[in-house]
């Protein structure tokens, strides 16, 4: 009976070791895949969210300024044409 317990003990140790090894391999594969994806995406010249928001704000300000200048030009043309 004692040999059966030892056999089961050894088998459980073997399975626990294999499970730990497989879990470690899984974590390593995931980390490697993440690193490759970051490297690939980094080479595609994407902009960061902060850069995008900054350019978006600059474009909105430029559009507002152009609208204001257009309104001023229309007023000046109307005043010139009214004489």
Residues 6+ apart with CB under 8 A from 55: 47
User: CA quadruple 37, 42, 44, 47: dihedral positive or negative?
Assistant: positive
Q: pLDDT tens digits, residue range 33-53? A: 999 988 887 777 778 899 999
Give Cα separations from 30 to 21, 37, 41, 58 (angstroms): 14, 10, 16, 39
The whole-model pTM stands at 0.45
Q: How many CA atoms does the CB half-sphere of 9 hold within 13 Å?
A: 6
Q: pLDDT tens digits, residue range 8-41? A: 888 888 888 888 899 999 999 999 999 998 888 7
- What per-residue confidence (pLDDT) applies to 38? 84
């Amino acid at each position: 009976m004692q040999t059966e317990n030892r056999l089961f003990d050894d088998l459980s140790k073997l399975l626990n070791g294999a499970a730990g090894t497989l879990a470690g391999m899984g974590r390593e594969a995931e980390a490697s895949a993440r690193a490759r994806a970051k490297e690939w995406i980094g080479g595609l010249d994407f902009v960061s969210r902060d850069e995008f928001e900054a350019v978006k704000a600059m474009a909105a300000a430029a559009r507002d300024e152009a609208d204001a200048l257009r309104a001023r030009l229309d007023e000046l043309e109307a005043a010139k044409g009214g004489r």
